[in-house]
Amino acid sequence: MYFAHRRGWVASNDQILDTTYLNKLEEKGARYVLILKKVYGTPIALPEKVVFENVDYAVYGIRRNSF
């Protein structure tokens, strides 16, 4: 996130799948979860709405106002 000049958090697949963790991020202002499909671990899919997806990544909205 630092080199992209963006605010955010880096999380493991286990953390992203943990609804308590996502709720805490949302409380801190997170609106989206970005999944890099080819970089870390195994592919995962969230039960949230997909905002954008291509072969490299998927963006999920985690707040009601993010769509």
Tens of pLDDT, residue by residue over 2-38, are 566 777 888 888 898 898 999 999 999 899 998 888 8
Residue 6 lies in a domain: no
Distance (Å, whole) CA 34 – CA 23: 15
Indicate the number of domains in the chain.
1
Asked if residue 35 belongs to a domain, the reply is yes
Q: Is residue 62 part of a domain?
A: yes
Enter the pTM of the model. 0.75
Asked if the structure places residue 39 within a domain, the reply is yes
Range of the domain at 22: 13-66
The answer to whether position 47 is within a domain reads yes
Is 1 a member of any domain?
Answer: no
Q: Is residue 4 part of a domain?
A: no
In-domain check, residue 22: yes
